[in-house]
Each structure stands twice: as C-alpha cells, then as structure tokens.
Amino acid sequence: MWTWFHKLASPPHFYRIAGLTIPAFSWAAGLLVAAGLYGGLVLAPPDYQQGEGFRIFYVHVPSAILSMFVYATMAIAAAIGLIWRMKLAHAVAAASAPIGAWFTACALATGSIWGKPMWGTWWVGDARLTSELILLFLYLGYLGLRSSFDDLQRADRASAVLAVIGIVNLPVIHYSVVWWNSIHQGSTLLTPGAMPIAMKWPALCMLAGFALFYGAVLFVRLRGEVVRRERSAAWLREVLVK
Amino acid sequence: MTARPGLWRVGMAVYARDLRLAFRRWEQAVQPVVFLLMVATLFPLALSPEAAQLRGVAAGVLWVAALLASLLALEFLFRADHEDGSLEQLVLSGHPLGWLSIFKVLAHWTISGLPLVLVSPVVATSLAVPASALAVVMLSLLLGTGVLSFVGGAAAALTLGVKRGGVLVSVLTLPLVMPALIFGAQAADLAIMGESARGPLLLLLALLVLSVSLAPLAIAAALRIGVE
Amino acid sequence: MNIAEFLAMGGYAAYVWPAYGLVFAVLALNVWAARRSHERALEEARRRLMQEESGR
C-alpha cells in the first residue's frame, strides 16, 4: 500500500492522475451546480416566512459546510504528514488552506447579507457566527505561519501543528446552535424531515457541486505543490518538458 | 555517571531559572503591567469619566487590555533561550518535553500573567467597577491569563526563529483564546451587574483545563520542529 | 413567473443577487488562483533546475 502512495506522490504519476480527476470533477461540479441553481432559484417554492430572500440559503449553506469540511481535510492531512512524514499529505494541507479560507469568507459574507433583511442586523456576536469567524482567522493564521518560513519542510511541519490544534473549533461551530441560544437557526439540511424535498434536493446538489469544485481546484493546486516538494531533478525535468 | 535528576527537580530548576532571569531584566518584565495601566487610563479619557458609562464597558476593556498586555509578553517566552542555545539543550536533554514546557509556561505566567491579576483591582476600580465585583473580576483574569499563557506558548513555540514573528504570534493566539475572552468578559460583566457569574467561570475553568492538557503536546511538537 | 419577477426576487433582489454574485466571483477567483499557483511552481522549478545545472 505504501508503494502505491509513494508512486502517487511522484510528479509524472501524479500529473497523470490529476489529468483525469481535474476534468472529471470539474464537469461533475458544473452540472451539479447548474442543477442546484435551477432547482433553487426557479423550481423551489419561496419560503413561508422569508419569501424569495430565503434563496440565499442555496449558496450560504454549501459554503459554510465546505468551510468546515475543507478544514477537517486540511487538519487530517496535516496530522498524516506529521506522523508519517508524507510530503503528499503536507501538500494536500497547503493546497486546501486558501480554498477553505475563501469558502469561510463566503459563508460569513452571505450570512451577513442574509441577516440584514431577515434579522435586521449585519452581525451579531453569537456562538455560531463568532466560531465561524474564528475559523477564518485560523485559516489566515495558518497561511501566515506558512509564508513566514523560508524552508518548505519546516513550514509544512509547523503549520501542520497549528492546523491540528485548530480542529477543536469545528465541533464548536457545529454544535454551537445546540449548546447556546443562538440567533442562527438550528440544523435543517441534515435533519430528516426538517425541510421539504423541493428545497432539499437543490441544496444537496449545490453542496455536492461545491465539494467536487473543491476537489478539482485542490488537484490543480496539488500539481504545483508536488512539484515544489520534489527533490529529484530527473522527475522534474520529465514534468517540465510537457 | 550521576543518576538522572527527577522530572520535578528539573522542572523546578527551569521554573526558578526563568524567574531569576526575568528579575534581572525587571524593566522588561514589568512592561505588560505598565501597558495595562496605561490602556486603562486611556478609556475614561476617550469615552467619558461618567461612572455609569465606564461600568458598562469595564469588563470588556479590562479583559481586552489584559489580553493585549499578555500578548506583548509572549514573545519573550522562548526567544532568549532559543538565541543562546539553552532551548536546544532542553529539547535534547531527554526529559519529557511536554512536562518541561508546563514549567516554562508557568514561569512565564508568574512573570506576566500573575502581576496583571494582582494589579487588576486597581485598574477595575478606576473603571468604576463596584468593590463587590472585584473578586470575580480577579478570578476571571486568573483563569484567563492562564489560558492565554498556555495557548500563547504554543503559538510562540510555532513561530520560533521566525524573523519579526511578533505580530504573527498574536494572530495565531487570538482566534484560539477568543472563547476564553468571551466567557471571561461575560463573567466579569455579570459580577459588575450584581449577578452570579458561576456559569461562565466554570466554562473558563474548563478552557483552562483543556489548554493545560493539550497545549504542552503542541508546544513539545513545535519546539522539536523549531530546534531542528 | 416572468423574467422581471424572477429578477426582483420578491423585493429581496438587492440581497439575493449580490450574495450569489459574490460566491461565484470567489469560485472563479479560486480557479484562476489555483492555475497561477501551479504555473509559479513550474517556473520556480525550472529556475532551480537551471541553477543546479549551471552550478555543476
């Protein structure tokens, strides 16, 4: 199994795999997002209380879920990189961070825009919003720490420790609406029966589409990250010739 | 070959040494307290000397000022030792690095966190905090500066050897101590309004326990990476 | 429902469309940034190789 991993991490081999996954993920993401958009903006009925304004849900929720999913991926990859000293794992963490940060920013921004007409305020200091903001700061701290090292290996390992520390924030974000009285509504998408199917399926399409988008962009970044960590000149020459 | 000294002995030696070094350069050690006093004087000047208004913001002001003051001191936690090579000795000494780092962080807290707690009644009173609330305010800062020293210690260990890493340490520490800030300021605020602060104080205690148990692991890992 | 009603989003247009626009702009930015990051990594590698070869 380890030989498969080591083979995977060598640039020519990785490039071959990326050459397949990137277009596959991109097309799948595009179709799912298109379906989700049509379902969410056109087909789904307006909300009983919030009317058409509710449709922000279809971009806000996938962004928020992805912001956490990407961090979890980043932290797990970082841990694997630390424990087994795998360069590919560190590459996954490094490549995921900017993507996750942007998803977090989107979740916060769309949430804020949604909040103004519905709850009368751009921001409130409750647990869910605050912990999501903390998540953004964690991403930015991770990126900042990375860039402050000249040595890539040290950057990998130090930022990996930080990523692992920050994982405690994820259960806080998720359970914040359960543990505290929050202005933010409770879980609807993942709770069975909390949402009519006409509203649920577009949201799930958007979620899957965003996830595949992350996969595609991740692999694009990964190609660069694998090259950065490659020491052997022979492999590099082979890759650069293309 | 002499028998290896026990962990407690070594830990106390580390603790004592750090305190001694800090006392030699007491002008540096006293800076966080001075900062706290200055910030506390700024707010009545900038806002209004009216007691009712000050009391409303006192909890938040006190806590943020204490936070910023502690962040100032974090840089000194490992830097001096890293520069003169004694940190490397500590890492290579073969003693469990996680436990040793607890002693180091405790020394740092004694030098920077504890003075803040002791000075806080004076500062709080200048912000129109009633005497009945002072005990809770001090307790909340006691627990909070503890969390800060441990979490900040992890951030300081991660940025070892980074040039001009001062701001970065703060950027890394603040997201992780925000929950402590929230509960601590909440506890102080409740006390100022005359209500029971038991809930937030217990949560703050839980955060302290969490950071004391997890931060040393992170510090040990980070120190090993930084000293390589 | 006609186009005008769709665009008006029941009066919430000023909120809904900027939200969607923002998200898709960010997604597009991510695609561009990822491609650029890859290109930069290749350039750095090329430079490293040339330095190594000229140093020999």
Residue ranges of domains in chain A: 29-45+54-241
Decide if B225 touches A, using CB distance below 8 A: yes
What share of chain A has pLDDT > 70, as a percent?
94
Every domain of chain C and the residues it spans: 3-55
Question: Angle at the Cα of A191 (from A185 to A197), degrees rounded to 5?
Answer: 100
> Domain span at residue B56?
7-227
Nearest alpha carbon to residue B7 among B67, B87, B96, B84: B96
- Confidence band, pLDDT 50/70/90 cuts, at residue A190: confident
A-chain CB neighbours of B214 within 8 Å are: 165, 168
The DSSP result for A18-44, as a single string, is HHHHHHHHHHHHHHHHHHHHIIIIIIS
Rounded alpha-carbon distances, angstroms, from residue A72 to A21, A59, A104, A159, B78:
21, 20, 13, 14, 30
pLDDT at B83: 80
Asked if residue B17 is part of any domain, the answer here is: yes
Tens-place pLDDT, residues B128-144: 899 999 999 999 999 99
| Residue in the block written with tokens 């979740």 | A107
- Token pair in block for residue B110: 């004694």
User: Which chain B residue shows the shortest CA-CA distance from A133?
Assistant: B175
What's the gap between Cα A93 and its chain centre?
11
Asked if residue B1 is part of any domain, the answer here is: no
Q: For chain B, how many structural domains are there in total?
A: 1
- Determine whether the interchain pair A117/C29 forms a contact, defined as Cβ–Cβ distance below 8 Å: no
Asked if residue B56 is part of any domain, the answer here is: yes
Computed on alpha carbons and rounded to an integer, the radius of gyration of chain B in Å comes to 18
Nearest alpha carbon to residue A36 among A28, A48, A26: A28
- Token pair in block for residue B124: 């709080």
Decide if B209 touches A, using CB distance below 8 A: no
Give the integer Cα–Cα distance in Å for A117 and A115: 6
Mean per-residue pLDDT, A160-179: 89
pLDDT at B74: 85
> ipTM of this predicted complex?
0.90
For the whole model, what pTM was predicted?
0.89
Decide if B165 touches A, using CB distance below 8 A: yes
A-chain CB neighbours of C16 within 8 Å are: 52-53, 55-56
Nearest alpha carbon to residue A220 among A72, A69, A62, A15: A15
Decide if A164 touches B, using CB distance below 8 A: yes
Give the integer Cα–Cα distance in Å for A138 and B197: 29
Give the integer Cα–Cα distance in Å for B1 and A207: 64
Asked if residue B2 is part of any domain, the answer here is: no
Tens-place pLDDT, residues B192-206: 999 999 999 999 999
User: Which chain C residue shows the shortest CA-CA distance from A216?
Assistant: C31
Asked if residue B75 is part of any domain, the answer here is: yes
Query: Do the Cβ atoms of B191 and B121 come closer than 8 Å?
Result: no
